[in-house]
């Protein structure tokens, strides 16, 4: 029975580690079962998706989903909200990857064999398999482990007949778990196989690439240059004709190839906002709570508050330094006796009642302060003078918070009126800390110099207390009647559009904002909802959706307004993009004439600096470490220029170079080109290892992205799960 107890003790952690199933019978939630039944499918056979015609069954997906949700709840605690939609998406990605990897492994004849799995299970079991068979002294009982893995039915012999445990059920559960463990190991090994194969192939570094990279990294050039940017040519001086756009489109059609079908939606949102009736009902509830508290003597409010805590699911916070409590709460809790009830207090649109449960002296004093920071800038004396002027204005009665918002260069705190909250010693720089802790509450001190500049400090309060408190949070919520009314309005909108009223016209009439999406692919959730995306791809142009509740937006009604089949994007879709490209080309064409004239007068000069006598509007720049990597110091990225720096003669002012967004006149004054033939063995090994590791790090990602993009993946999750 010791083995059974040990297995029962550690099995939840064991199974959580390899994320297959949680031990026990996992069943779908009632809401999900109802969802499946609503779409007219048998939960036992329903298919939630397909990957290259290989099905993902609802029961398999949901079993793993429930296990992961359970594990998340255990880790985070019941009070923490779980991102179920995020977990569903993560699990979907994992299962799609598992299927694709298995399919690819079969294609390349690199499957995981049963012999390999047996070798892992019997000869080299992972730690999570060994743990249930390891005693308190750390000894792994291999014989017993092998016995129960190879002969699961022997587990019945270890069940205490007086324990009330059914040996048959124990054995059957163990067999199921072994199958799931085997499945997990197969998936893990398949992933390892394919990763190793892709890494081996994708991280090959060719000798020519290695030599080229060595030359790029170890060569350098010093360049004088002048850049004539297209920004010198105003947009108003350039005319982009329709024929220019059409000609560019026809010449560069391959740039605008669309590989996958796309759709476009138009939608309106009906926000799920509380009605005036909801607000009135909330006010009544707030007044009732306040009357309950005020109807009893002050010493009895503690008991009434406890009843309200249970009714409204309040929360309690243990002894905490005031530095760790929200300053807005601290303002109401400080100085109040134990048992004091405070409220209602409005904070950020919600209402609170607080009770001080405990208070005690702590070992760490803290200060609540605000500040205005004036940085040194280029003139330290000027900064000090400005800080002194602000100090006089504060002491004369001007609002400190308003001055902080206007003048403080610590923009993070400036948005809060300079408020830094509560802080202990050791959190601020020394001069600031000493001034803040030495000042009395209510005083203004400064200017205090620190490495950041000059500070004007307002000390609001000091404390060395630790406080425990409870709070009840209340807010106006949308009631059932209000929610129903919003859905009725949304359904009415749908019906009117179906009867022929244009979507935009009806939206304007109802003072709703009709939003049109860009074209999107079937893998793109619209407003975070895959259900909305599937609606777009499963319906023809003009179809109007049923109202969908999508958090945090509200109730959405959408209409399919356009589609794009795979092929070339129509000119209308890329017109704006092409217009900008043509405008850039035309600006370069305009610059060419001017730059050529300047060059003809400059040609033959000994130094590029003589250009100042020809064109006073430009300035010569010097780049001292130019490499053939596309980056030009003082300008930015332009691979054409850096490449030419290694091709033009040294000392000669080269003919104008047409870059991506500028014309350049360049003079290379020095150049050292590394010879790969002189590469030392140590340099070769280091460079090869670095290039290999870089290629290896990205090889799997690019390979997997490519096979996933080529795969036929059908995602039907929105039919089985509510999406918000």
Q: What is the DSSP string of 617-679?
A: T---EEEEEE-TTSEETTTEE-HHHHHHTTTSPBTSBPPPEE-SSEEEEEEEEEEE---GGG-
Beta bridge partners of 265: 560
- Rounded Cα distance between 589 and 19, Å, is 61
DSSP code per residue over 426-491: TSS-HHHHHHHHHSPTT-EEEEEEETTEEEEEEEEEEEEEEEEEEEEEE-----HHHHHHHHHHHH
For 598-603, which contacts have Cβ atoms below 8 Å and span 24 or more sequence positions? 598/665, 599/653, 599/655, 599/656, 599/665, 602/653, 602/665, 603/653
Degrees (nearest 5) of the Cα angle 308, 310, 311? 60
- Rounded Cα distance between 394 and 417, Å, is 13
Beta bridge partners of 57: 47
End-to-end alpha carbon distance in the chain: 47
What's the topology of domain 220-256+572-673? Chitinase A; domain 3 (3.10.50)
Q: What is the pLDDT of residue 20?
A: 32
Boundaries of every domain in the chain = 2-199, 220-256+572-673, 260-273+480-565, 274-477
Question: What sign has the CA pseudo-torsion 448, 453, 454, 460?
Answer: negative
Q: What is the pLDDT of residue 8?
A: 43
Residues 700, 198 contacting (CB under 8 angstroms): yes
227: left (phi over 0), alpha (psi -120 to 50) or beta: beta
Q: What is the pLDDT of residue 536?
A: 94
Place of tokens 């909250």: 421
Phi, psi of 474 (to 5 degrees): -135, 140
Q: What is the pLDDT of residue 104?
A: 87
Count Cβ atoms below 10 Å from residue 48 Cβ, excluding itself.
24
Q: Which of 595, 582, 577 is nearest to 662 (CA)?
A: 595
Q: What is the pLDDT of residue 402?
A: 92
Q: Flag whether the pTM goes above 0.75.
A: no
Class of domain 260-273+480-565: alpha beta
Residues 473, 314 contacting (CB under 8 angstroms): yes
Q: What is the pLDDT of residue 176?
A: 82
Residues of the chain with pLDDT under 70: 1-41, 43, 76-81, 722-724
Q: What is the pLDDT of residue 723?
A: 57
Q: What is the pLDDT of residue 40?
A: 54
Pairing of strands 554-564, 262-270: antiparallel
Residues 457, 394 contacting (CB under 8 angstroms): no
- Rounded Cα distance between 159 and 157, Å, is 6
Pairing of strands 350-374, 548-550: unpaired
Give the total residue count for the chain: 724
Q: What is the pLDDT of residue 14?
A: 36
Going by CATH, does the domain composed of 274-477 fall within 3.10.50.40? yes
User: pLDDT tens, 97-125?
Assistant: 989 988 988 888 777 777 888 888 888 88
Strand order in the sheet with 262-270: 515-516, 262-270, 554-564, 548-550
Structure tokens at 504: 């935009």
């Amino acid at each position: 029975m010791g083995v059974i107890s040990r297995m029962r003790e550690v099995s939840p952690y064991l199974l959580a580690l390899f994320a297959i199933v949680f031990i026990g019978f996992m069943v779908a939630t009632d809401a999900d079962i109802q969802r499946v039944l609503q779409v007219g499918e048998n939960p036992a056979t329903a298919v939630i998706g397909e990957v290259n015609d290989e099905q993902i069954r609802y029961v398999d997906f949901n079993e793993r989903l429930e296990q992961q949700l359970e594990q998340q709840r255990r880790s985070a605690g019941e009070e923490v909200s779980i991102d179920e939609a995020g977990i569903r998406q993560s699990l979907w990605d994992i299962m799609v990857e598992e299927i694709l990897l298995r399919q690819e492994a079969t294609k390349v004849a690199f499957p995981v064999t049963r012999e390999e799995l047996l070798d892992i299970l019997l000869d080299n079991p992972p730690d999570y398999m060994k743990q249930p068979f390891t005693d308190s002294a750390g000894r792994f009982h291999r014989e017993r482990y092998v016995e129960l893995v190879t002969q699961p039915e022997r587990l019945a012999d270890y069940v205490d007949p007086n324990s009330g445990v059914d040996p048959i059920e124990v054995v059957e559960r163990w067999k199921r778990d072994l199958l799931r463990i085997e499945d997990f190991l197969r998936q893990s090994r398949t992933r390892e196989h394919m990763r190793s194969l892709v890494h081996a192939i994708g991280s090959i570094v060719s000798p020519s690439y290695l030599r080229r990279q060595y030359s790029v990294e170890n060569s350098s050039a010093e360049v004088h240059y002048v850049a004539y940017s297209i920004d010198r040519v105003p947009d108003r001086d350039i005319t982009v004709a329709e024929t220019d756009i059409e000609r560019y489109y026809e010449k560069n059609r391959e740039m605008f190839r669309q590989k996958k079908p796309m759709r476009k939606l138009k939608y309106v949102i009906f926000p799920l906002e509380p009605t005036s009736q909801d607000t009135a009902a909330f006010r009544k509830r707030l007044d009732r709570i306040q009357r309950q508290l005020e109807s009893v003597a002050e010493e009895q409010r503690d008991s009434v508050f406890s009843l309200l805590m249970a009714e409204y699911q309040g929360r309690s916070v243990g002894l905490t330094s005031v530095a760790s409590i929200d300053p807005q709460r601290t303002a109401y809790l400080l100085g109040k006796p134990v048992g004091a009830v405070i409220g209602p207090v409005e904070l950020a649109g919600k209402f609170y009642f607080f009770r001080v449960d405990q208070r005690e002296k702590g070992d760490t004093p803290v200060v609540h302060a605000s500040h205005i920071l004036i940085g040194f800038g280029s003139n330290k004396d000027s900064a000090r003078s400005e800080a002194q002027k602000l100090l006089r204005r504060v002491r004369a009665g001007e609002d400190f918070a308003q001055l902080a918002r206007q003048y403080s260069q610590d923009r993070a705190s400036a948005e809060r009126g300079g408020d830094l909250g509560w802080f202990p010693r050791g959190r601020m720089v020394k001069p600031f800390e000493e001034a803040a802790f030495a000042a009395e509450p209510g005083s203004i001190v400064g200017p205090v110099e620190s490495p950041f500049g000059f500070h004007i400090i307002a000390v609001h309060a000091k404390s060395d207390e630790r406080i425990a408190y409870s709070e009840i949070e209340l807010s106006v919520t949308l009631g059932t009647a209000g929610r129903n009314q919003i859905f009725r309005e949304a359904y009415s909108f749908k019906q009117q559009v179906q009867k022929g009223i244009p979507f935009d016209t009806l939206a304007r009439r109802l003072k709703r904002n009709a939003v049109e999406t860009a074209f999107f692919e079937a893998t793109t959730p619209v407003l975070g909802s895959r259900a909305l995306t599937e609606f777009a791809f499963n319906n023809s142009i003009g179809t109007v959706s049923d109202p969908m509740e999508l958090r945090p937006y509200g109730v959405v009604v959408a209409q399919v307004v356009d589609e794009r089949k795979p092929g070339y994007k129509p000119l209308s879709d890329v017109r704006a993009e092409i217009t900008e490209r043509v405008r850039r080309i035309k600006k370069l064409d305009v610059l060419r004439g001017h730059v050529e004239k300047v060059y003809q007068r400059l040609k033959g000069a000994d130094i590029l600096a003589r250009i100042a006598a020809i064109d006073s509007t430009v300035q010569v720049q010097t780049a001292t470490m130019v490499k053939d990597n596309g980056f030009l110091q003082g300008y930015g990225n332009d691979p054409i220029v850096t490449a030419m720096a290694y091709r033009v003669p040294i000392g000669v002012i080269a003919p104008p170079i047409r870059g991506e967004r500028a014309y350049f006149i360049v003079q290379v004054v020095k150049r050292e080109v590394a010879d790969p033939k002189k590469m030392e063995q140590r340099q070769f090994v280091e460079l090869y290892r670095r290039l290999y590791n870089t290629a290896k790090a990205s090889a799997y990602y690019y390979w997997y992205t490519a096979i996933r993009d080529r795969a036929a993946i059908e995602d039907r999750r929105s039919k089985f799960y509510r999406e918000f």
